[in-house]
Amino acid sequence: MKKNVRLNSLDNVTIERYAVSDRTGVERCVKSEVGAATLQVLSDKNSIGIEVADIDTINAISLDDYFHLHAVSNKKVFKIDVEGAEVKVLNGMKNLLLEGVALFIEVHKKLLTNYDHQVNDLIRILEENLYEYKVIGNENKGNPVWYASRKKI
């Protein structure tokens, strides 16, 4: 990631070593090789069968806590691609949802069950926060991309 930021001369990008979650604290994850593209945060369900030697920990933070801590004020659009942890991430951004930020969410339907969630849980959170959504891509690949925005009242 650092290499991509440098190659693209991105001066408004901050790289942080956190897992994004519904709470701030420590999460268990599968150890990954340096340069790995994904990080798998473990739940009780998706950790079954993983050897203890392959489990590591990482600091986690909710998006609400992160943006409060860093006093960021110009939050408008979020791209969420978290391999099944979509509900956890949305639960950690309740204040941001109240602000009406726009969301692009890659919904990993099969992987949601690793965290004991289903697509209906995702829809419920969006609807409770007065969001509407539509599928804008990957519809036939099992992980559709949704665009979600706050309803105009």
Ordered mean pLDDT values, 10 residues apiece, the chain (153 residues) = 87 86 87 55 52 73 96 91 93 96 94 90 97 90 91 83
- Amino acid 130 reads L
pLDDT, residue 126, reads: 98
Give me the domain span that covers residue 35: 2-150
pLDDT, residue 37, reads: 47
pLDDT, residue 48, reads: 45
Q: What is the pTM of this model?
A: 0.82
Number of domains in the chain: 1
CATH of the domain at 17: 3.40.50.150
